[in-house]
Chains A and B, each alone.
Chain A
Amino acid sequence: MQGSNLRPPPCKGGALPTELTAREGRAYGRVPSAAVNRPTATAGRLLTAGCALLFAAPAVLMVLGSLRGRGLPPPRGLEIVPAAPTFSAYEAVLTLLPWTTYLRNSLVVVAVAVPLTVLVAATAGWGIRLLPRRAKHGVVTIAFLALLVPVTAVWATRFELFRLVGAVDTFVPLVALALLGTSPFYVLVYVWAFHRLPEEQYQAAAVDGAGPLRTLWSIALPQVRPITLAVVVLAFAFHWSNFLDPLLYLNTPSRFTAPLGLRLLQQLNPTDWPLLMAGAVMLAVPAVAVFLLGQRVFLHDPLHVLEDR
Chain B
Amino acid sequence: MSTKSTAHRTAWSRPSTAWLLIVPFLAGMAFLLFVPAAANLGYAFTDHVGFGRPAFIGLGNFRRLWSDPFFLASLRASLAFVLIAVPLRLLAASGLGIALARPVRSNRWRRILVYLPTVMPEITLSLVFLWLFNPLYGPINGLLGALGLPEPVWFASGWGARWAIIVMMVFPIGEAFLVVMAARRDLPGELYEAASVDGASSWQMLTKITLPSLAPLLLLLAVRDTILSLQVNFVPAYLLTDGKPANATLFVPVYIYDQAFEFLGFGYGAAITVLLLAVTTSLVTVQLVLGWRWYRRRA
Contacts and interface: CB of A to CB of B under 8 A. Distances in A.
A29 to B, nearest CB: 3
B55 interface: no
Contact of A150 (B15, B111, B190, B280): B280
B150 interface: no
Per DSSP, are chain B's interface residues mostly helix, strand or loop, or mixed?
helix
A97 interface: no
Interface stretch (B120-128, B156-164, B240-248): B120-128
Contacts of B66: none
A72 interface: no
Contacts of A230: 175, 178-179, 181-182
A105 to B, nearest CB: 16
A229 B37 CA distance: 31
B33 A306 contact: no
Contacts of A81: none
A301 B108 contact: yes
Interface size class of B (residues with CB under 8 A): 35 or more
Contacts of B269: 152
B182 A126 contact: no
A160 B39 contact: yes
Contacts of B117: 55, 58-59
Contact of B253 (A124, A149, A152, A176): A152
Interface in B37-68: 37, 39-41, 43, 50
A180 B32 contact: yes
Nearest to A195: B216
Contacts of A132: 15
Contacts of A111: none
A124 B106 CA distance: 35
Contacts of B154: none
A27 B39 contact: no
Interface size class of A (residues with CB under 8 A): 35 or more
B159 to A, nearest CB: 22
A275 to B, nearest CB: 11
A29 B189 contact: yes
B216 A192 contact: yes
A92 interface: no
B142 interface: yes
Contact of A280 (B35, B114, B124, B270): B124
A139 B115 CA distance: 32
Interface stretch (B69-77, B80-88, B97-105, B290-298): B97-105
A87 interface: no
Nearest to A276: B127
Interface in A151-173: 151-158, 160-161
Contact of B189 (A28, A124, A148): A28
Contacts of B190: 26, 29
A288 interface: yes
Given A152-B273, A263-B123, A306 B104 contact: yes
Contacts of A302: 103
A72 to B, nearest CB: 13
B232 interface: yes
A222 to B, nearest CB: 12
Contacts of A61: 128, 131-132
B202 A37 contact: yes
Counting from the closest, the 10 A-B pairs by CB-CB distance are A127-B21, A226-B182, A180-B28, A29-B189, A29-B193, A179-B28, A280-B124, A26-B189, A124-B25, A157-B36
Given A65-B128, A130-B21, A180-B28, 4 more contacts: A35-B201, A52-B100, A148-B227, A283-B121
Interface of B: 3-4, 6-7, 10, 12-13, 15, 17-22, 24-29, 31-37, 39-41, 43, 50, 92, 96, 99-125, 127-129, 131-132, 134, 136-137, 139, 142, 171, 174-175, 178-179, 181-193, 196, 199, 201-202, 216-217, 220, 223-224, 227, 230-232, 253, 256-257, 260, 266, 269-270, 272-274, 276-277, 280-281, 284
15 contacts: A44-B99, A59-B119, A77-B137, A80-B139, A120-B24, A127-B22, A139-B22, A144-B223, A152-B256, A158-B32, A184-B25, A276-B127, A284-B121, A295-B108, A306-B103
